[in-house]
Chain A
Amino acid sequence: MAVLTRPRLRPRVTRPAGGVRTHDGWWAVFFLTPQLAALAVFLIIPLGFAVVLAFMRWDGLGAKEWAGLDNFAAQLSDPDFGQAVWNTVKLALLTVPFGLALALLVAIALNSVRGSGFYRVLYFMPVVTSSVAVALMWQVILAGDEYGVLNTSLERWFGLTAPDWLGDPGWVIVAIAVVTIWSSLGLNVVIFLAGLQTIPPQIVEAARVDGASGLRIFRSVTLPMLSPTIFFSTVVAVISSFQAFDQIYVLVNPEHNEGARTIVYQVYELGFRDFQFGMSSAAALILLVLTLLVTLVQFAAQKRLVHYDS
């Protein structure tokens, strides 16, 4: 009976103690210091300050007063905040599934096309276009009168009377979702393309040899192997939709259309219109907790839904 022995490992190369390794450490500190300093100044300190402010009353100029949980209580009982949360959730429910499904379809189509570089550039262009420019362009398309490109076209070609996409509180979130999906499509397509290209072709080939149809291959091979990428994109897309602000701010004025009021807009309005920085920080902290909760749920779900190929 053969005795299984562990293969002999090559002796580890060790560096002289206190020599080059220590020296490398100093260089690492040297090169990382500017980034760490920037991170502290622009992220960690403001975040800490915002957390403290959430428990204060402060108008930005006068003295700060301790408010305890008053700011949170005021926000949680404010119908405007409730409306903002609901609008934000609606936006996420519209943009995440539809946006990712569309991106996946486009990625699969591009994956099977030779010389897809041109299309990749085309799809990616909105991602690198200024969100303000994107919003202004869509404002022209979605305008709800005879000057709106979409509504005029619908009326002229199909005789349809379309709603006032940006003016009607019931439709505005749909309009914002469309713009968001359009502008983030390219990024999701590129991520999915990268994911698709990591699927070993021999597995797909083996499934094909076994007689699996294209749909079956997609369901049993592509989707499971792409699930880590889908999970990553879902987490990022949900967080992005929870933080929606700039396009909404330019596209519609949520002050005149409560259907477009999102949590970040509420944070902005409380802080920079009403000068209630404590209240604004409390709203931002509630948003942070909501985002964390949703992300935790997603991470819990991944154990059953995401397939990691070892």
Chain B
Amino acid sequence: MKRVLAILGVLAVATTACSGGGGGNVPGTSGGQVTVRWSTWGSAEDLKLYEKFTEDFHKRHPGIRLKLESVAKYEEYHPKLLTQLTSKTAPDVFFVGDDNIGKFVSAGVLTPLDDKLAGPDSKSRPEDFFDGVYGGAKRDGRIYGVPNDTNPEVLWFDKKALKDAGITEDPAALHEAEQWTMAKYLDMNAKLKAAGKAGSIFWNWYGSTYSMINGFGGKVWDGGKFVATTDPKALEALRTLAKGYQDKTFLSADILPDSNGPSTQFLKHKAGFYAGGRWMIDSLRKGGELDDYDIVPFPSPTGEPMPGAVAASYLAINKETKLPKEAFTFLTEFVGKDGQLLRLKGGGAVPSVKGAEQVVLEDGYPAHAQTFLDVRDTGFANYPEEVAVPGLTAAINEHLMTVWTGKVDFDQGMTELARLVESKMG
């Protein structure tokens, strides 16, 4: 028995010696340097945008090395982050999506940032960011994550497709004249449909769905309650969407085949409108006649501008980090004005910080690029009540998809949706 124990002891020592240190980031002094680990999602192309910032950061902070740990797919990023947080191996700083931030705030795994953001070392003060974009990253007046960039949801429109459908009015001009109403927009969609085209392509996510509800003057959440299934105007919006999806006035980008996806259809002038963010520019540059396309916000009931949905992601600091000072140095420079100017140049996002607007405007594309900034300045990230429940947004979208595709009758779908939200809210 003693021998067995001795052998096991030797193996244990050997295993420990061979394994890397788990747990948090212990400030190692490799030539007096410490390494700040940070993580995000994105393709190789997306990650290239951080290279310049990293180089610049290393020059200015020779004592800090940045180590990026990326995950290609957004859907797989948060499960990995959750696992890392559970096992105390999470990076010092990490991105969190707007549909997950509420969960991490509730769990108490993020460092409150108010004092640091307002402090002398800050390059990104709390008031530098538009309040609506904080979304679930702000709770009880405390900030747990800073929006690192945004993507306001707008309607891209194809001038050629509109012209082919006999539409002579320009949506952007109508918006400027405060005549961009839901009625006008739906009328254009009907004309596009009659001309054998799709009216609009939407991704099945809160940005499009809730923008449509707002456009009808409806409410999604009110007083902490999900009212989209009871509010008459919200119901009207959802019914219009369901009917439109079923008669092919609207197309759901999620279920279009990869080989003939939304961008392909839009570039082929098969649809009049495509709801999306600034990331669309890249698709258009690759295959479209740039001048054929422009943007307009989602319409409102009266034509007066109204708040639109803004997709955001947040940068947060791990509460367990062993390098709070260095982690904050990275965070504040990353989300600060200079950091965003450096990172977002040529990218497909809109700065979340005030004073970096030239990133969006300097190319002069699209013609109404200012719309991105207008929507950002007055817009809203997903509702805090919704993002506080993990999977709720996805479950709502998933259920709505059964309504859009006609697998579930509209009224039954709404009843089930109300029940679903209630059960998830506990």
Binding site for B on A (CB under 8 A): 26, 29-30, 33-34, 37, 59-62, 139-140, 143-148, 164, 166-167, 169, 253, 255-258, 269, 271-276
Contacts and interface: CB of A to CB of B under 8 A. Distances in A.
Interface string B379-412: 0000000000011001101100110000100000
A242 to B, nearest CB: 22
B402 A258 contact: yes
A257 B204 CA distance: 13
Contacts of A146: 260
Contacts of B361: none
B4 A167 contact: no
B394 A33 contact: no
A139 B391 contact: no
Given A255-B398, A274-B390, A37 B11 contact: yes
A59 B260 contact: no
Nearest to A167: B255
Instruction: Give the one of A34, A164, A169, A273 with max B CB within 10 A.
Output: A273
Interface in B14-30: 15
B4 A26 contact: yes
B259 A143 contact: yes
Contacts of B107: 59, 61-62
Nearest to B7: A30
B260 A60 contact: no
Given A60-B82, A255-B394, 6 more contacts: A33-B7, A59-B390, A62-B107, A143-B260, A148-B257, A256-B401
Nearest to A259: B407
Contact of A59 (B103, B254, B402): B103
A73 B7 CA distance: 47
A61 B85 contact: yes
9 contacts: A26-B7, A33-B8, A61-B103, A61-B104, A61-B108, A62-B106, A147-B260, A256-B398, A275-B390
A112 B385 CA distance: 67
Contacts of B401: 255-256
Nearest to A146: B260
B406 to A, nearest CB: 11
B3 interface: yes
Contacts of A275: 82, 103, 390-391
A256 B255 contact: yes
Contacts of A62: 106-107
Contacts of A37: 11, 15
B62 interface: no
A256 B15 CA distance: 45
Chain B interface extent, by class: 35 or more
Nearest to A254: B398
A143 B424 CA distance: 34
B109 interface: yes
Given A61-B109, A256-B254, A258-B402, A140 B259 contact: yes
Nearest to A272: B79
A276 B86 contact: no
Nearest to A33: B11
A145 B394 contact: no
A145 B260 contact: yes
Nearest to A142: B257
A273 B259 contact: no
Contacts of B127: none
B203 to A, nearest CB: 11
Contacts of A139: 258
Contact of B391 (A29, A164, A274): A274
Contacts of B108: 61
A126 to B, nearest CB: 22
Contacts of B79: 271-273
Nearest to A269: B391
A276 B391 contact: yes
B3 A26 contact: yes
Interface in B237-259: 254-255, 257-259
Contacts of A274: 390-391, 394-395, 424
Contacts of B391: 269, 273-276
A252 to B, nearest CB: 10
A117 B11 CA distance: 43
B209 to A, nearest CB: 15
A34 B8 CA distance: 9
A108 B106 CA distance: 61
A61 B100 CA distance: 13
Contacts of A30: 7
A139 B257 CA distance: 9
B326 to A, nearest CB: 24
A60 B86 contact: yes
Nearest to A78: B423
A146 B256 CA distance: 12
A277 B217 CA distance: 38
Contacts of A258: 402, 407
Contacts of A145: 257, 259-260
